[in-house]
Structure 1
Amino acid sequence: MDITQLSTWQQLETQARQMRGRHLRQLFAEEPQRAARYSLELPEFLFDYSKNLVDDEVLVNLLQLARDTDLEGLRARMFSGAPINGTEGRPVLHPALRGGLPDPVELDGGPVADLVETELGRLKEFVNLLHNGGVTGYTGRRITDVVNLGVGGSHLGPEMVIGSLRAYRRDDVRVHFVSNVDGAELADVLAGLDAETTMFAVSSKTFGTTETMTNARSALRWFGELAPREAVLQKHFVAVTASPEKAREFGIEAQRVFRFWDWVGGRFSLWSAIGLPIAIAVGFDRFRELLDGAASMDRHFHEAPLEKNAPVLMALLSVWYCTFMRYPAHAILPYEQALHRLPAYLQQAEMESNGKSTTRAGEEVGYATGPLIWGMLGINGQHAFYQYLHQSPEVVPADFIGSVAPGHDLEGHHEILLANMLAQSQALMNGVDREQVSAGLAARGLGEKEIEKLAPFKVHKGNRPSNTILLRRLDPRSLGALVALYEHKIFTQGAILQIYSFDQWGVELGKGLAAALQPQLESGELHHQDASTAGLIDYYQRVSKGAPAPEPAS
């Protein structure tokens, strides 16, 4: 369908123009119970969406848009295992990895739940053996360090979760991450490790990703003369992949190849065997709690009515701002040190999913399909880019994320942290007008001329929308629910905006070009290159061969 021709869509366009003339202060004044009415309390957190530029009339139309675009039908198809990843002909079943399907699903003649539980059982057995000292290297010493070699979804998810669960990390086996094909990262990690007690987890869906396999081959060479190549691969390498035969061809023992499936997108795969580093870092039981938290959000997304459905409401607000209000960016602002990698993780999850310009019908879209996602830890951001959030002409909606219980026992820190989070969302909402600024400056003893000169610079217009997600505490279960909340938000956005959220063809073009450019970069023999690329390769060749730098201009 052409959704822009829906009467609901056109009403929302009109309402967006009208809402630009209203202020959040006005909305709160008109509805004293707004905060209570526009909040949802779930088992793991409170979701407060009251500081958004919407009223009941807007929400009614947004919810109707979800129904008009058959969100509920597409949601049912996803949970049933239908191939909703249309360009690749695949189901989208990451909820199955955590027991989040409402009904049994069979693929390839067997129950998906059985496949998942079998692999989780293998994962549990290996992780427990590792923690008990039963996994040893070639020389018989127990493995004390595991280096995850992956990139994208095989890296960001596990790294984010382990950082987020810092309070639950075990200290008997350390986990490290290498994703960059720039050898500096691998060299830095290896510099502090002992080859006899180190194991590498090669995590790649295809087991052919250039960056990951280059790092794997370099890791293999790092062992030097410790043992024959075959013995090193058997004792110091495990694989996590949807292509187990390729891992075995590489030389990794079959019993140390852990599998996931092509119906799991890389950026939604941390719940699968890709979560091996998580299970190692916090123990398998905590990993299972993470899965259980995500499954609870799956049930909420599947069962809750749209108007009380947290992922749906978050997605509708995102569509409202990006597509109708024309706000092109969205900030993720955690006020929790452990969540420092969450903005980067959500940036990949959303922008790789909904950064599309073609509808499911193969037509070019005529509207924005997703915002630019960015952000960082809130306290650090306050001293970095909040100036932009408060006073730039551009409006950037934001998600503030914190927790009631601190992840430490240092007195006084947490209250300061949360006070800052609440103050920033309040300041973005209310701002401070010319009259308030002038009164404040007068109270400081400034004269009329000084006030007239300084006041314009201190005005904050406010009216900057935000959500606040306040966890009871940051633990494996609540983290699982939080990540699944955003996963289902992403699905809902794509469903409403008529795009395929689960392919990633935009990633493939650059990979293909890089593969063709690499031999030309090495040899200097150029074939069919544009003038800029040819010039850059020429410069690389000259400098790498010792050409002197030009004399500075006089």
Structure 2
Amino acid sequence: MSQLTQSSAWKALAQHKQSIESQHMRTWFEQQPDRAERYSLSAAGILLDYSKNRVNDDTLALLFGLAEQQQLEQAIKRMFAGEEINTTEQRAVLHTALRADRHSPQWQQQSDCLSQVQASLDKMELFVDAIIQQRWLGYTGKAITDVVSIGIGGSFLGPKVASEALKPYWSDALTVHYVANVDGTAIADKLAQLDPQTTLFITASKSFGTQETLANTLSARSWFLSHGASLPDVAKHFVAVSSNIEAATEFGISPDNIFPMWDWVGGRYSLWSAIGLPIALQIGFKHFKSILAGAQDMDEHFRTAPFEQNMPVIMGLLGIWYTNFFDAHSHVILTYDHYLRALPGYLQQLDMESNGKNVTRAGVSVDYATGPVIWGGEGTNGQHAYHQLLHQGTRVIPADFILPLRSHNPVGTHHDMLASNCFGQSQALMQGKTLDEAKLELASSPLSEQQAELVAHHKVMPGNKPSNTLLIEQSTPYSLGAIIALYEHRTFVQGVVWELNSFDQWGVELGKQLGNQVLDAIAKEEQGVHLDGSTRSLISKFNQAKLNKN
């Protein structure tokens, strides 16, 4: 048994869970008219109502005790101080420095780091302005009208999700496209829509050697050259975000057009850096800085607020409560805003790549559950699909509802209907429906007494299903930055409690390693004696299909 599960704080929570397991939130709301006010707080423009959770004051006190036992406060300080908390890669974790107030006393010890960040931001701003104001021209003298961002993982997903979420702020001067999948169809479909004379490519790869990204970049360059451009023209249509200046320069990119990446920023935490260049091009640099401002304010809240009023801490500990004491295997994100529809996919990578681990920082295998499956989608679509499982399924699935109070597109009563569905769904999850209520509902139906009795049992919903509701004034660059930073810190909180390194991703690295070995075997048209029988058989069938086509 691990020290964590044998600790006094853990055992106290396990005992407490048994004492409240039979209690229903419906009763708590009846007994506490002010429950919503007691269990709500605001930070960085976000209101969190966590009153529809299976917790009381004793629960929260015990969870805060667990956080204290696991030295969460010290871990927060170490991260903001730039200590090497990514122990397996001997790196600091300073994505917060990318959006920091460089004049704050908190950041004075990181002056070298902040100088690098500011220099990169200044370079980004000049570049964005040159493109949007059409001072940067393509090789035939035409202005850039389309930008293709080529990346994978965090270098792709963060910018793409942020760009989609901020459509009301898009510049009319540019259209930004994203390519990540190494499937040739992805790049081919995109290039078919574009004019090489007016297209700019951004390659985002720290090593400038990531398999998928490099393959798509090489295909883009071949397409560009095949339409009449020459090698020197590449410098006017390709820029890079990379730490490998030599490789990018050899490709044909001017050193002046290479933006930095740093080891102390992981891919899934990088949209705040030059990785966010496509976002800045899509919405303008002023709005990009607003994203940073929202994240910065959430950082300051996380760093300074006591745990009892700390939004990321509370959300992180609630996740621990359900994952480890209610056997919750997943967590659903429900965005009641069309612009935020892709956010669950981004948070999926953020959380599952960070805390999908089975070994502690000390290298010891865990004997408790860690990162749950993160999933979700946009409301109200999900209500006609997977919400059935949320209401009547057999597992506890905590839910986060996210809603802007104002719409960018106030069409009729649509937003009222959207909000009513959001609030109604969270109420239904909490409240449920008893057998007596179901029978009363069917009392005036034309069903026979026997049929009504049967149907009533099918209409029963246990309720007591936990959820958070997060309200923002409107989907803006500022609010998006605050939301993403909130979930970054929530993920960190859980990693600290679980004693994980949330900032490496060796499972991802293994897939890349083996993928390269398999690619070699395919390219050489040999079986690959070092591979397992199944993989050798699949390679053989794949290569045979290529021969048959020829």
1:220, 1:229 within 8 Å by CA — same for their partners in 2?
Answer: no
1: CA distance, partners of 2:288 / 2:254: 24
1:536 correspondence with 2:534: no
Map residues 122-137 of structure 1 onto 2, 5 A cutoff: 122-137=123-138
Structure 2 equivalent of residue 231 of structure 1 = 232
What SS class does the counterpart of residue 106 from structure 2 fall into? coil
- The AA in structure 2 aligned to 1:500 is N
Deviation, structure 1 residue 103: 1.8
Aligned length: 546
What SS class does the counterpart of residue 107 from structure 2 fall into? coil
Show CA shifts across 1:214-240 (max 9, x none): 000000000134455432321110001
Unaligned runs of 5+ in 1: 548-554
Structure 2 equivalent of residue 486 of structure 1 = 487
Structure 1 equivalent of residue 284 of structure 2 = 283
Q: Identity rate of aligned residues, in percent? A: 46
1:151, 1:212 within 8 Å by CA — same for their partners in 2?
Answer: yes
What SS class does the counterpart of residue 111 from structure 1 fall into? helix
CA RMSD after TM alignment: 1.6
1:104 correspondence with 2:107: yes
1: CA distance, partners of 2:275 / 2:350: 15
Structure 2 equivalent of residue 464 of structure 1 = 465
- The AA in structure 1 aligned to 2:426 is S
1: CA distance, partners of 2:226 / 2:189: 21
1: CA distance, partners of 2:461 / 2:287: 45
Deviation, structure 1 residue 492: 0.8
- The AA in structure 2 aligned to 1:93 is L
Structure 2 equivalent of residue 264 of structure 1 = 265
2: CA distance, partners of 1:361 / 1:11: 24
1: CA distance, partners of 2:326 / 2:14: 8
Deviation, structure 1 residue 476: 0.7
Tell me the TM-score normalized by structure 1. 0.96
1: CA distance, partners of 2:254 / 2:44: 42
1:200 correspondence with 2:201: yes
Structure 1 equivalent of residue 188 of structure 2 = 187
Structure 1 equivalent of residue 512 of structure 2 = 511
Show CA shifts across 1:198-220 (max 9, x none): 01000112211100000000000
Structure 2 equivalent of residue 67 of structure 1 = 68
1: CA distance, partners of 2:534 / 2:378: 38
Map residues 219-368 of structure 1 onto 2, 5 A cutoff: 219-227=220-228, 229-368=230-369
Deviation, structure 1 residue 382: 1.0
Deviation, structure 1 residue 242: 2.9
- The AA in structure 1 aligned to 2:298 is M
What SS class does the counterpart of residue 375 from structure 2 fall into? strand
1:89 correspondence with 2:61: no
What SS class does the counterpart of residue 225 from structure 2 fall into? coil
What SS class does the counterpart of residue 321 from structure 1 fall into? helix
- The AA in structure 1 aligned to 2:477 is P
Deviation, structure 1 residue 325: 1.5
What SS class does the counterpart of residue 318 from structure 1 fall into? helix
1: CA distance, partners of 2:340 / 2:484: 11
- The AA in structure 1 aligned to 2:443 is A
1: CA distance, partners of 2:429 / 2:30: 16
- The AA in structure 2 aligned to 1:247 is A
| CA distance 1:533–1:102, shift in 2 (3 Å) | farther
2:44, 2:294 within 8 Å by CA — same for their partners in 1?
Answer: no
Unaligned runs of 5+ in 2: none
- The AA in structure 1 aligned to 2:381 is N
Deviation, structure 1 residue 141: 0.6
| CA distance 1:409–1:25, shift in 2 (3 Å) | closer
2:100, 2:107 within 8 Å by CA — same for their partners in 1?
Answer: no
Structure 1 equivalent of residue 120 of structure 2 = 119
Tell me the TM-score normalized by structure 2. 0.97
Deviation, structure 1 residue 380: 1.2
What SS class does the counterpart of residue 347 from structure 1 fall into? helix
2: CA distance, partners of 1:286 / 1:411: 28
Moved more, 207-216 or 14-23: 14-23
- The AA in structure 2 aligned to 1:46 is L
Deviation, structure 1 residue 541: 2.6
Deviation, structure 1 residue 119: 0.7
| CA distance 1:94–1:43, shift in 2 (3 Å) | closer
Which one of 519, 539, 545 corresponds to residue 547 of structure 2?
545
2: CA distance, partners of 1:295 / 1:46: 17
